[in-house]
Homo-oligomer: A and B are copies of this chain.
């Protein structure tokens, strides 16, 4: 079922510091900042040869990453996004296997404009998993 790692998301408490860490200290290529008000985040992508790191910073009130940052004030790895061919087939197989999907189980349009779902971290080794149909 699992395809490529589309990205690894890191929630960050300070986007200037995050851009300096990845762009200058670690010498990686960064995208411009992108505000995604419908997702409650500002994102910067770190382009690596085989995948991306997504730096996530809260945007607006009630950002979905704020509680994570409250618990992890230095920031930290927030989720892994795996690609799947067909998100409905993947969802139905996971539900049949007893795994829990966050929200109402209907795919949403994610930050890349493609259908995504999030899986319950307690069913997957404490790791928040995003599935993205590509």
Interface residues of A, Cβ cutoff 8 Å to B:
1-5, 8, 10, 12-13, 17-18, 21-22, 24-28, 46, 48-51, 53, 55, 72-77, 80, 82, 93-94, 97, 99, 121-127
Contacts and interface: CB of A to CB of B under 8 A. Distances in A.
A5 B50 contact: yes
A1 B46 CA distance: 12
A2 B48 contact: yes
26 contacts: A1-B27, A1-B28, A2-B26, A2-B27, A3-B48, A4-B50, A4-B51, A5-B8, A5-B53, A8-B80, A10-B127, A17-B125, A18-B125, A21-B125, A24-B97, A25-B94, A26-B124, A51-B51, A53-B80, A55-B125, A72-B126, A74-B121, A75-B126, A76-B126, A77-B77, A77-B127
Contacts of A93: 27
